[in-house]
Chains A and B, each alone.
Chain A
Amino acid sequence: MQYKRNRAFRLVLVLSPPLIVLAVFLGDEWHRPWMLLEAERAGILELRAWRVLLGGVVGASLAVSGAVLQTLLRNPLAEPYVLGLSSGAGLATVVALVAGAAAWGVFALPAAGFLGALISLAVVYRLARSGATTTSHTLILAGVIWGSLCGSVLMFLVSQSTAEGLRAVMWWMLGDLQVYDTRLLQAVACLNGAALLGLLLMARDLNVMWLGDEAAGHIGLNPERLKVMALGGAAVLAASAVSVSGLIAFVGLVAPHAVRALVGPDHRRLIPACALAGAVFLVWADGIGRTILFPIEVPVGVLTALTGAPFFLVLLRRRHRTMWK
């Protein structure tokens, strides 16, 4: 078993980078990849490269965020969506959009989304906290309720906005990996790189957390502090991903589970493997989205949902019988 997992881990490490690079060739003229390297296609190559880079960063962030949340809440269905982070970020962004923040600069909307996700996490955590402890179930419940509350307010705002403004919001709600400003991507990449590293350093503690708060306490860890730190890291990953690419569902669910089935639940392997697999999944979903109906783009969130939703249902049936052992 261990041997198999080691081999799978090495395989993920070796195969993912070339798969990510290959995704650059997905799109128009995918069957003639050499065309992309010609001088007159330089603009397109540049565009693709940035897009794949953004897809990689967002995919890795969402996948690791999902994996960590699943561990902390010990619930296989947890992901940024379930905790209301995405809805919070979405609501804040739409509020900013309605307020006309788009004219204040490139960072205005993403900053609003980021703030929304962090506020959501704080609210959900506060709601779920009783005394000095927070139980996973109340946390998820609070997340779902908060998410639906944000969702209704968001729908209200969308219903009040003009038809033209709506289009911009709708596209954002389905996810968009086109790079409009590289500064934003750089900022998100740095922030999420740091968050990822932090979570990787906490990998051993996360392994213990997986056994439950009590077990972690017995070993001498402070489960409450650890939970806050890891949740914070996961929230930063999800929030900045949402702020730069809109709402992309199911990456935080599909990638961690697939990877867990391959490399096992040890976070020292799970986190890096998740980051790579999430990046591959999103980059390929986006690549397929820009290929099938060219020159019309299929929003990437539609494709991740199309693959993710059936996966979610299968998971719901099997629960954690096989994958979590």
Chain B
Amino acid sequence: MPMMKPSCPTLALLLFGLIACAAPAQGGSPARRVVSLAPSLTELIFDLGLEAHLVGRSSACDYPPEALALPVAGPFGKPNTEQLQYLRADLVLATDLERPGLLQALRRAGTETLVLPCESWDQLMVAAVTIAEALGDPEAGRTWSGEMNGRRQALERRVNAFYESRERPRVYLEIWGRPPTTAGAGTILNETVTMAGGRNIAGGLRTGYRPISSEWVIREDPDVIVFAYMLPGHEPAEALRTRKGWSSLRAVRKGAMCDGIPPDWLLRPGPRLIRGAEALAQCLMDMSEEREHAGGDGNRQTVDPGE
């Protein structure tokens, strides 16, 4: 019975097959089943090159386009627990969970949950390292954060050199127009503005993301207005020009408005944030140069902002 005696080549093939199958687990990384509930974290996982572990996303996760192929496990920060079970998720990643009880419920059900708030650059770096570690590839996290920090330092050097002999522009950042909403201290947007060489006029307010009084913006009279609208389909700069009382702003009269930066670059504390910061820095530098070329014309009319 020749069939009972496997030949040498067959054995070798079998062995090779076994090794090939076990390969992904070899680097000490058991394949995880990860559900990401925040668009920024989904982007981060893709950017780390660890997307093979992803089995689900939130309905808000729409970047990179490949992410759209993943099944949805619920809205941003609000997972559907049944769907998590169905996806057999063993690790849930979120920046924030809408219901505090959910965390306990998930842990009771044996699903590991990592809540990684990303409201500052440092927190973003921590999130990258933590995720990479949890997915068994700590090196990826370190490399990624090293690269990001390098880009940040390069940007800061460039910005510092540019503003050595110039005044840093005072920036009003609008994330929503009705009512005017801005980002104050303790937000990653505030940090991004600083990184890009601007001074956020709301930076002194402990407001987080809050509606703000139009009167206050008019009184502060910022040098530059930056838009990062939360919902698409708006022409914020155009709408702002016609907004009552706002036409008296210097930035509006001179068109010192940055509205060409994709909002997601600034609003999502993920891998594209650095691109947002670079684009914003460029826009602010352009505006500063334009102001200089326009000469004293504008400065003569305006009162010194004091401070």
Decide whether A and B assemble into one complex.
yes
Please give the residue numbers on chain A whose beta carbons come within 8 Å of chain B beta carbons, in ascending order: 27-28, 40-44, 46-48, 50, 100, 102-103, 160, 162-165, 167-168, 171, 176, 178-182, 290, 294-297
Bound Cα distance from A227 to B215, whole angstroms: 44
Interface presence of B21 (CB below 8 A)? no
Which residue in chain B gives the minimum CB-CB distance to A54?
Answer: B244
Taking a contact as CB atoms under 8 Å apart, the answer to whether A44 and B218 are in contact is: yes
Bound Cα distance from A163 to B216, whole angstroms: 26
Bound Cα distance from A297 to B248, whole angstroms: 21
List the B side residues contacting A176 at CB < 8 Å: 178-179
Bound Cα distance from A294 to B216, whole angstroms: 8
Q: Which of B76, B213, B234 contacts A294 (CB 8 A)?
A: B213
A292 shortest CB reach to chain B, Å? 11
Which of these binds chain A: B5-13, B147-155, B203-211? Answer: B203-211
Choose among A28, A163, A165, A179 the residue with the greatest number of B CB atoms under 10 Å from its CB: A163
Which residue in chain A gives the minimum CB-CB distance to B242?
Answer: A181
Taking a contact as CB atoms under 8 Å apart, the answer to whether B178 and A295 are in contact is: no
B234 shortest CB reach to chain A, Å? 7
Taking a contact as CB atoms under 8 Å apart, the answer to whether A43 and B249 are in contact is: yes
What would be 26 A-B contacts, judged by CB atoms less than 8 Å apart? Answer: A28-B213, A42-B248, A43-B218, A43-B248, A44-B218, A46-B248, A47-B215, A47-B244, A50-B244, A50-B245, A103-B234, A162-B76, A163-B76, A164-B230, A165-B231, A168-B176, A180-B177, A180-B244, A181-B242, A182-B244, A295-B215, A296-B207, A296-B210, A296-B212, A297-B211, A297-B212
Taking a contact as CB atoms under 8 Å apart, the answer to whether B234 and A290 are in contact is: no
Q: Which of A44, A102, A180, A181 contacts B215 (CB 8 A)?
A: A44
Interface presence of B243 (CB below 8 A)? yes
8 closest Cβ pairs, A-B complex:
A43-B248, A47-B245, A295-B216, A164-B230, A103-B233, A295-B213, A43-B245, A43-B218
List the A side residues contacting B186 at CB < 8 Å: none
Main secondary structure of the interface of B (DSSP, over half): loop
B266 shortest CB reach to chain A, Å? 13
- CB-CB contacts of B229-248 with A at 8 A, as 1s and 0s? 01101100001001111111
List the B side residues contacting A100 at CB < 8 Å: 233
Given contacts A180-B178, A297-B213, contact A164 B218 (CB under 8 A): no
A-B contact count (CB 8 A): 93
List the B side residues contacting A48 at CB < 8 Å: 215
A166 shortest CB reach to chain B, Å? 10
Taking a contact as CB atoms under 8 Å apart, the answer to whether B211 and A164 are in contact is: no
Bound Cα distance from A290 to B213, whole angstroms: 7
Interface presence of B303 (CB below 8 A)? yes
List the B side residues contacting A102 at CB < 8 Å: 231, 233-234
**A-contacting residues, B102-151, CB 8 Å:** none
| 7 further contact pairs, Cβ within 8 A, besides A160-B75, A176-B178 | A28-B219, A43-B218, A44-B215, A168-B178, A178-B214, A180-B243, A297-B212
List the A side residues contacting B247 at CB < 8 Å: 43
Main secondary structure of the interface of A (DSSP, over half): helix
Given contacts A102-B234, A163-B77, A180-B243, contact A47 B214 (CB under 8 A): yes
List the B side residues contacting A27 at CB < 8 Å: 213, 215
Which residue in chain B gives the minimum CB-CB distance to A41?
Answer: B219
Choose among A27, A28, A297 the residue with the greatest number of B CB atoms under 10 Å from its CB: A297
Bound Cα distance from A176 to B177, whole angstroms: 12
Bound Cα distance from A54 to B59, whole angstroms: 38
Bound Cα distance from A112 to B260, whole angstroms: 31
Interface presence of B194 (CB below 8 A)? no
- CB-CB contacts of B175-188 with A at 8 A, as 1s and 0s? 01111010000000
Interface presence of B60 (CB below 8 A)? yes
List the A side residues contacting B239 at CB < 8 Å: 180
List the B side residues contacting A42 at CB < 8 Å: 248
Bound Cα distance from A297 to B212, whole angstroms: 6
A290 shortest CB reach to chain B, Å? 6
Taking a contact as CB atoms under 8 Å apart, the answer to whether A164 and B231 are in contact is: yes
A83 shortest CB reach to chain B, Å? 27
Which residue in chain A gives the minimum CB-CB distance to B218?
Answer: A43
Taking a contact as CB atoms under 8 Å apart, the answer to whether B213 and A179 are in contact is: no
Bound Cα distance from A290 to B214, whole angstroms: 10
A219 shortest CB reach to chain B, Å? 49
Q: Which of A44, A47, A167 contacts B230 (CB 8 A)?
A: A167
Which residue in chain B gives the minimum CB-CB distance to A27?
Answer: B215
Which residue in chain A gives the minimum CB-CB distance to B178?
Answer: A180
Bound Cα distance from A181 to B234, whole angstroms: 15
Bound Cα distance from A40 to B305, whole angstroms: 12
Bound Cα distance from A212 to B50, whole angstroms: 74
List the A side residues contacting B249 at CB < 8 Å: 43
List the B side residues contacting A167 at CB < 8 Å: 176, 181, 230
Bound Cα distance from A177 to B250, whole angstroms: 25
Taking a contact as CB atoms under 8 Å apart, the answer to whether B303 and A44 are in contact is: no
Taking a contact as CB atoms under 8 Å apart, the answer to whether A290 and B215 are in contact is: yes
List the B side residues contacting A47 at CB < 8 Å: 214-215, 218, 244-245
Bound Cα distance from A44 to B219, whole angstroms: 8
Bound Cα distance from A294 to B211, whole angstroms: 11
Choose among B177, B214, B230, B242 the residue with the greatest number of A CB atoms under 10 Å from its CB: B214
Bound Cα distance from A160 to B80, whole angstroms: 13
Which residue in chain B gives the minimum CB-CB distance to A293?
Answer: B213
Bound Cα distance from A42 to B76, whole angstroms: 43
A145 shortest CB reach to chain B, Å? 29
B239 shortest CB reach to chain A, Å? 8
List the A side residues contacting B303 at CB < 8 Å: 40
Bound Cα distance from A41 to B207, whole angstroms: 25
Bound Cα distance from A165 to B60, whole angstroms: 12
